[in-house]
Amino acid sequence: MSIERPGPARWLYYQLGGRLPERYRDWVLHDATCRTWVLRVLVRGLIPIVPLGAVLFVALGVFGGAWPIAAGALLLGLLVVARIVLTNSVDSVDSRLVRYGFPPGHASAVRRQRDADAAERYKAVWRQQPPE
């Protein structure tokens, strides 16, 4: 079974908080539970900030003349946004899935089960008792 992915315009709309049509429901679940879900949440949080940061960097650097201060301010702003986004990442992803009809906490449960399965596979391969 292949998962239907949204095109670039719908993906950007989704990243900015929009709701995708029902046919992308499986992709949204994948987006919330895949191995790189934290990175995806971070990108989702930084997308709206990057254009604003670029404009402020140009304005402060070119018109203010102190580009090192502008670069430092931009970096500090990005770090603050990243911290806020990552702090709220679990709740954000779980509530996003609720909008698609999944039960509350579903993404967290799927990730916990995936991690438990991986731990079992690891134990089965690498933690065998030595023969006596």
User: pLDDT of 16-34, one tens digit each?
Assistant: 889 999 999 999 999 999 9
Q: Record the pTM.
A: 0.78
Q: Does residue 41 contact residue 93 with C-beta atoms inside 8 Å?
A: yes
Average of pLDDT values for 99-104? 93
Amino acid symbol at 72? G
Average of pLDDT values for 95-118? 91
Contacts of 25 (CB under 8 A, 6+ apart): 100, 101
1 band by pLDDT with thresholds 50, 70 and 90: low
Is the per-residue pLDDT at 43 higher than 70? Answer: yes
Q: Residue 40 burial (CB < 10 Å; 0-12/13-18/19+)?
A: middle
User: pLDDT of 44-97, one tens digit each?
Assistant: 999 888 888 888 878 877 777 777 877 888 889 899 999 999 999 999 999 999
